[in-house]
Amino acid sequence: MSWGIFGTEAAERISWIKLREDRKRRLTEKLKQAGFGGFLAFYEENIRFITGTRGAPWTRDKPGLRYALITNDGKITHYEQGDNWYHTKRNSPWLDKVKYSYAVWIKGASGPASQYQAEKFARDIRKELEEHGVADLPLGVDFIDFNMLRAFEKVKINVVDGLSVIHDARAVKSQDEVEAESVAASIADAIHYEATKILRPGIPENKVMAHLYDYAFSIPNVDNVVTIIVSSGPNTWPNYRNFTDRIINYGDLVLIDVVIAWNGYHTCVYRTYSIGKQPSEEQKNYYQLALDWLYDAIKVVRPGVTTKDIASKFPPASEVWGYREEEEAAANLWGHGLGLSHYDLPLVSRINSLDFPYEIKENMTLALETQHGKLFKWG
């Protein structure tokens, strides 16, 4: 991290204008290469990538309350639920067009009117595509349901899976995005340091989580806390990856994972704590194994290698834990991209990286994570 976290006229720092333009350029290039007329985004990370707008937290698990259309000429039409579009229009003057959305049928919320609403939505999208002369080209989407599918067929829009296109556009970051990830990582480390101030025997997991949530949101432009995992004692192995009201005991190991987003850019930072006493030699040995797996993988990472090269440094789950398949060890020996979502490309795992290697490129940002432990004792 090179600068402070606020913009100033005295230093360039992160250029958010340049960052937005670079994201749009990358996506429109990918759309043209794929022969798409445009891309219709329903998932929050893709809407933000295209528009630079931020949805309210309650919209994130309801794809379609807000959505965004970008055509292959780089023009953006953004849709918000109801009259919230007035705020978006005022806050985001770089958008070409801002409208209210039609997608009130999402998750069947309109009952028997769902198909009717979907058709209104599809006709509006068709109109926008016609305005830009791309209505006869495939339209990439990141989400579909049966009502949408039938509505698109009725208005003769050829919808196709666009996830690979937008994932490729998001995978390699601009230097401004890399800087944003660096700021986010610094904040995650600060949250972990805050944890050291309150971790003690007698405090329950949920109180640690609540304190860290509060601290995270006190930092300017932390706009999403996906999760702060607090697993203690028997919850650390297998890692429960959640929190409970369990009281942390003297001598417990505690795992904390900080998954927050600063200006949309995500982290995934684990730390392990020994509460009230030094860890045992056995615990240190297990930790050292996990640390060796981690750094053996980190040392491989550079442009030009593949996810196979990295995943090959992880031991087989059958050898370490006696698991039948690698899927049972998912996220124990793991790597994933970070960006506007918790999971960007690339995915690093023995589950599929050995047979389907993916090239690592300059300015990808990713997390690698390794874990180890004794069943219902500690990890």
Model pLDDT for residues 233-291, shown as the tens digit of each residue: 999 999 999 999 999 999 999 999 999 999 999 999 999 999 999 999 999 999 999 99
**Long-range contacts (CB closer than 8 Å, 24 or more residues apart) made by 151-159:** 151/115, 151/118, 151/119, 151/121, 151/122, 152/122, 154/119, 154/122, 155/119, 155/122, 155/123, 155/125, 155/126, 156/126, 157/122, 157/125, 157/126, 157/129, 159/40
The mean pLDDT of 178-182, rounded to a whole number, is 95
pLDDT for 107: 76
Q: Is the pLDDT of residue 12 over 90?
A: no
Is there a domain that residue 206 lies in?
A: yes
Q: 166: pLDDT confidence band, cut at 50, 70 and 90?
A: very high
Q: Is the pLDDT of residue 105 over 80?
A: no
Cα dihedral sign, 191-192-196-201: positive
Q: Is the pLDDT of residue 2 over 70?
A: no
Quick one: 227 and 186 in the same domain?
yes
Quick one: 90 and 216 in the same domain?
no
| Residue 30 CB coordination number (10 Å) | 21
Tell me, what CATH number does 208's domain have? 3.90.230.10
Comparing 108-122, 194-208, 300-314, 364-378, the range with the smallest average pLDDT is: 108-122
Q: Is the pLDDT of residue 1 over 80?
A: no
Q: 214: pLDDT confidence band, cut at 50, 70 and 90?
A: very high
pLDDT for 41: 97
Q: What phi and psi, each to the nearest 5 degrees, are found at residue 119? A: -70, -35
Quick one: 199 and 319 in the same domain?
yes
pLDDT for 368: 97
Q: 60: pLDDT confidence band, cut at 50, 70 and 90?
A: confident
Quick one: 229 and 334 in the same domain?
yes
> Whole domain around residue 110: which residue ranges?
16-170
pLDDT for 165: 97
Q: 110: pLDDT confidence band, cut at 50, 70 and 90?
A: confident
Quick one: 228 and 326 in the same domain?
yes
Domain end call among 170, 199, 225: 170
Going from the C-alpha of 283 to that of each of 109, 215, 278, the distances in angstroms are: 51, 30, 10
Is there a domain that residue 6 lies in?
A: no
pLDDT for 114: 85
Quick one: 200 and 77 in the same domain?
no
**Where do we find the tokens 């005022």?**
90
Is there a domain that residue 154 lies in?
A: yes
The mean pLDDT of 156-181, rounded to a whole number, is 96
Is there a domain that residue 3 lies in?
A: no
* Closest residue by Cα to residue 339 from 210, 185, 170: 170
pLDDT for 5: 82
Quick one: 160 and 228 in the same domain?
no
Is there a domain that residue 272 lies in?
A: yes
Is there a domain that residue 311 lies in?
A: yes
Is there a domain that residue 349 lies in?
A: yes
Tell me, what CATH number does 77's domain have? 3.40.350.10
Quick one: 186 and 147 in the same domain?
no
- Spatial distance between the Cα atoms of 97 and 329, rounded to a whole number of angstroms: 46
Answer whether the bond into residue 93 is a cis peptide, omega within 30°: no
Instruction: Please write the tens of the pLDDT for every residue from 310-342.
Output: 999 999 999 999 999 999 999 999 999 999 999
* Residue type at position 137: L
| Residue 82 CB coordination number (10 Å) | 10
Quick one: 228 and 85 in the same domain?
no
Q: Is the pLDDT of residue 169 over 90?
A: yes
Is there a domain that residue 85 lies in?
A: yes
Average pLDDT, the chain: 95
Instruction: Please write the tens of the pLDDT for every residue from 115-156.
Output: 888 999 999 999 999 999 999 999 999 999 899 999 999 999
- Spatial distance between the Cα atoms of 111 and 18, rounded to a whole number of angstroms: 43
Domain end call among 114, 146, 170: 170
Q: What is the domain count for the chain?
A: 2
Quick one: 166 and 258 in the same domain?
no
Domain end call among 122, 146, 170: 170
Q: Is the pLDDT of residue 8 over 90?
A: no
pLDDT for 103: 79
- Spatial distance between the Cα atoms of 48 and 341, rounded to a whole number of angstroms: 10
Quick one: 359 and 210 in the same domain?
yes
Quick one: 65 and 185 in the same domain?
no
